[in-house]
Amino acid sequence: MSRATKKILSYYAGENPGVLANLYRFLETGRLKGTGKLVILPVDQGFEHGPARSFAPNPDGYDPEYHYKLALRAGCNGYAAPLGQLQVGAAEYAGQIPLILKLNNSDSMYGGSDPCPAVTGSVGDALRLGASAIGFTIYPGSAARNEMYEEIRELSEEARAVGIATVIWSYPRGSGISKDGETAIDIVAYAAQVAAQLGAHIIKVKPPTAHIEQDAARKVYEKHGIPIATLADRIRHVVQSAFGGKRIVIFSGGAAKGEEGVLDEIRGIKEGGGFGSIIGRNSFQRPLDDAVALLRKVQDIYAS
């Protein structure tokens, strides 16, 4: 076991051996193994945004096996997807890469302001597919947030009982906050804290902006001089907000953008002490060779 992996696992000393073994698998898989950094491929966008919006830029992506191949060739630490997508290829690629079964999802055909995803998979499905973790999205700021909090409490308890780790996508959204507030520094840090309090082993949030949403929070940020001017400053604060850096916090790749835009963001995350990235559209919407090359450049930044 590498020194970095050993240190991170020490943060989870209260967990059972099965959960620790699955966290170890993520940390010791792929090109970043042993560095304490993670680059994970998530492909839930077909469910969340629709097939054309997700896969038309690179039609190979309509085939779920493409994403297994991409994650493996690029040397990712893991691959996350909903039940149907993960089932296609789970047998052929069994044991070759840690899997995260996304247990709740929603579509974009209903335009309500307060999202509440449906539970679309089970811990039993995760066991059957050989997954190392379950994934679950919460939407702090939604009127339905308490329902999501209760659902993940029950699912993570069930997952722990069989040694499976929990990954929480903590995405502030809903009538309780503005559009700018979804990525505001105070809100993203708060979202990371909520996910940690809900028992997440790995927390996924969006890279935060310098906007401050809540007036009460703004007074504290100003009074205590919390640095938020640069992306690295903001990443550092978000990681600090997840139990003083004792929970793995990784950052989404966000909307599709050019290669330099992706890499500049990764440099900021790395400088701020982020544990890594979970990059979907910015990778799988490119041809396989280009996608592999981009993910390896990302990994090289984290490994440097």
Q: 9-44, pLDDT tens digit by residue?
A: 999 999 999 999 999 999 999 999 999 999 999 999
Task: Print the domain residue range for 60.
Answer: 3-258+267-303
Question: For the segment 241-282, what is each residue's pLDDT rounded down to a tens digit?
Answer: 999 999 999 999 877 788 999 999 999 999 999 999 999 999
* Whether pLDDT at 111 is above 90: no
- For residue 298, pLDDT over 90 is answered with yes
- pTM of the predicted protein model: 0.97
**CATH number of residue 30's parent domain:** 3.20.20.70
* Share of residues in the chain with pLDDT > 70 (%): 100
List residues with catalytic annotation: 204
Which tokens is 273 given?
């002490």
Is-contact 162 131, C-beta < 8 A? no
For residue 69, what pLDDT band results from cuts at 50, 70 and 90?
very high
Q: How far apart are CA 43 and CA 1, in angstroms?
A: 29
How many structural domains comprise the chain? 1
Tokens of 48: 């969340």
pLDDT at 98: 98
